Amino acid sequence: MKFFCPEAGIDVKKKLTSLQKEFFRKTIHICTAFVPIFLHFARIPVIVILCIMGVLYTIAELFRLNGVEIPLVSDITAAAARKRDENKFVLGPITLVCGIILSAVLWTEMSARVGILALAFGDGLASLAGKTFGRVRIPFTQGKTAAGSLTCFAAIFCSAFFVMHNTLIALVVACAGAFVEVLPLKDFDNLLIPVMLGGLVTFSPVLFA
């Protein structure tokens, strides 16, 4: 005779909800892989649009925190927000946009492309893999998993090699990206990954001469 455990059902439901939120959030994350294409054809207009989007999102979040819901924007934010973001300003989209803008402004087109793709695929897929398959936790990382870190490394290596066709630099970039991703930086890895890896590629002729 089988007995139904309400607590187990609640736990499963919570986990499914968490996975759904993470999948939705990281789908948006991965879609930033299209940004380098837009930057190639219209660099200044795209940067201006990203700045405007960041400002509009900030205004919408401030309204939301004061009880005023902005159609669509507030709905998307609520659907993607993690538990830690409840009743707080959801910082992820801002750090995401700022990371992309800084990378595009500071570095060459190729370097920015490597950094942005690393953010899109490395950081995006790492979280999905960690939530779905992660069993082995990495100490002192606030829950990061070996599965997530390995996925991050592989995704960044593949995307960097696709852009540069240089195995050594792609390997170094992937190691650096995986190291940053595993740090407990919360949403600030969105800022650090594209800027740092873009800079690493920019100075790679000096570093690997």
* Residue whose C-alpha is closest to residue 131's, from 40, 36, 17: 17
% of the chain at pLDDT higher than 70: 85
**pTM for the full model?**
0.86
- Dist. CA 102–CA 17, nearest whole Å: 33
Contact 162, 148 (CB under 8 A): no
Q: How confident is the model at residue 1 (pLDDT cuts 50, 70, 90)?
A: very low
- Dist. CA 176–CA 169, nearest whole Å: 11
Residues 6+ apart with CB under 8 A from 167: 161
Summarize pLDDT for 22-76 with one digit per residue, the tens. Answer: 787 788 889 999 999 999 999 999 999 999 999 999 998 898 888 888 877 777 7
Cβ count within 10 A of residue 145 = 22
